[in-house]
Amino acid sequence: MNTMQSRRHFIKNAGIGLAGIGFLPVLGPIGQLWRPSVLLPHALPESQGVSSGGILSFIEAANASGISWHSFVLLRHGHIVAEGWWNPYAAEFTHSLYSLSKSFTSTAIGMLVKEGKLDIQSPVVSFFPKDVPANPSSNLQKMTVKHLLTMNTGNGADTMPPMLKSNKTWVQTFLEQPVDFEPGTHFLYNTGATYMLGAILHAVTGQTLERYLAPRLFEPLDITGYDWETSPQGLNTAGYGLRVKTTDIAKLGQLYLQKGKWNGKTLLTESWVKDATGYQTSSQQGNGDWAQGYGYQFWQCRHGAYRGDGAFGQYCIVMPGKDAVLAVTSQTADMQQSLNIIWEHLLPALHDGVLPDNPSEQAALKTALGRLALPVVTGNTANDMASRYNRKTWTLDKNDFNATSMQFDFSPAGCTWTTQTAEGVASIRLGWEKWMLNKERQLYKFPEVGLNHQPTKVAGTATWINNNTLQLNLRFVETLHGDRIQCVFEGDKLTVTFLDSLTAMSAGKVDSRKPLSGVMKG
């Protein structure tokens, strides 16, 4: 959920990585066998006309960029030619898509049109007779489903913020917002408009987006383990909130590259794919890849490409002229920078025909992929404080999180950070200057406003940055966020401060969470 301004704020944070050109099943984090998708075959890059050296150049530029890259999957001619995850992110984890969710919502609308159940020229108000204001404006009455798809509703501001704050239903609140311009004449990136697409699908079918797409998209494409946030009315948020794996993002792109066909079946009509991914309206003039035009919840790109994208650098980039798809997850304040790196390094790596086999570059690429890692904060892994405070209980002063006590358990492998709250006990294990994955999903006890309200697996590192300060670094690996916790020990007093990863990358922004303080018990 984001306006274009909020979508482009960046962070640079800690992490480590395991990735590679995967061919075999690998052991998942819970000890279960995780299998790569059987629907996307792997191939050596050169066999599909892709230079291993070019991919290596992209990785080098990515690592040097200051951007927190989390994963990428590159498809050429329907084959995975390279894929990588920066640990603690991994292939088996879902990842928050933010506004890339919109492209999945658009896909659902396309399927509804294919079934003959929806005409996108239909007025929006026709689907919600009980929710329309008593005296609807002329502009509201002119607003159609197509205007929702193309972000040309006529609203002068994103409707999602008032929807989130309203005591009424989200549909009612959307319909009450001013429609300042005649629909079709004013482009405005409007996440509330995407929610209305999901609400219309529900009005027509009685199903949520998630339930509707299950047999039509998720099952055919072997997309599993996904989840999608819901509104207070129980409908999927549509414009944000979907979590899928990086390979699943690539599958969506491949479906569109194949003009709606998958394994011999037509999931979307070719005409819908053309309209959805083509130029429907001007967009944000003078804003690089955001100025190339907009389709049905897809952006046009330079170089003849198009994309679905989400805040902080979640991409499904389709390059029809190159018969290629690139899926990316990341965290960046400058989304144009990440696209520039892709255009500069990966685009030239795509050649016509088959390239000569290049074992040395393929080996170098495999090594680079296996070493993908976000930087880890370093200091000292041993400290006299550790023995003094090991397993001591700290009684906390009254705080905004209803946390009552805290404990640190130090061992040669790392630190276990345990907090008692009104809801129960929560523990997170952290490795000394290396990531340790907590295998069970959990709700974070100290979230910044608007972040980490979905359960996620957590990975953590720990280090002593000075004699009395223990720094804990967290990555919520099924989102794109992280947190830095500094614990300052001064005699029998403890102070705990927080800095979330989005705040850390935004100049002048301050984390809104107040420090915790406590005293050692006994």
Left (φ > 0), alpha (ψ -120 to 50) or beta: where does 121 sit? alpha
Q: Residue 54: what are its φ and ψ, rounded to 5°?
A: -65, -40
pLDDT classification of 55: cutoffs 50, 70, 90: very high
Please report, as a single letter, which amino acid is at residue 455: P
Per the prediction, the chain carries an average pLDDT of 91
HEC string of 291-355?
Answer: CCCECCCCEECHHHCEEEEECCCEEEEEEHHHCEEEEEEEECCCHHHHHHHHHHHHHHHECCCCC
* CA contacts within 13 A on the Cβ side of 32: 7
pLDDT classification of 6: cutoffs 50, 70, 90: very low
Asked whether the predicted pLDDT for residue 16 surpasses 60, the reply is no
**pLDDT tens per residue, range 413-457:** 999 999 999 889 999 999 999 999 998 999 999 998 877 678 999
Domains of the chain as residue ranges with CATH: 96-316 (3.40.710.10), 384-520 (2.40.128.20)
CA 323 to chain centre: 24
pLDDT given at position 368: 97
**pLDDT tens per residue, range 107-164:** 999 999 999 999 999 999 999 999 999 999 999 999 999 999 999 999 999 999 999 9
| 95-96/516-520 β-pairing | unpaired
Please report, as a single letter, which amino acid is at residue 421: T
**pLDDT tens per residue, range 203-249:** 999 999 999 999 999 999 999 999 999 999 999 999 999 999 999 99
Please answer whether residues 220 and 262 qualify as being in contact, where contact means their C-beta atoms are separated by less than 8 angstroms.
Answer: yes
CA distance 508 to 504: 9
**pLDDT tens per residue, range 286-345:** 888 998 999 999 999 999 999 999 999 999 999 999 999 999 999 999 999 999 999 999
Could you tell me which of 260, 327, 290 has the C-alpha nearest to residue 81? 327
pLDDT given at position 36: 53
CA distance 281 to 152: 8
Q: Is the dihedral of CA 91, 69, 343, 350 positive or negative?
A: negative
pLDDT classification of 384: cutoffs 50, 70, 90: confident
Which residues, in sequence order, are bridge partners of residue 396? 518
Please answer whether residues 478 and 394 qualify as being in contact, where contact means their C-beta atoms are separated by less than 8 angstroms.
Answer: no
Q: What is the mean pLDDT of residues 370-384?
A: 91
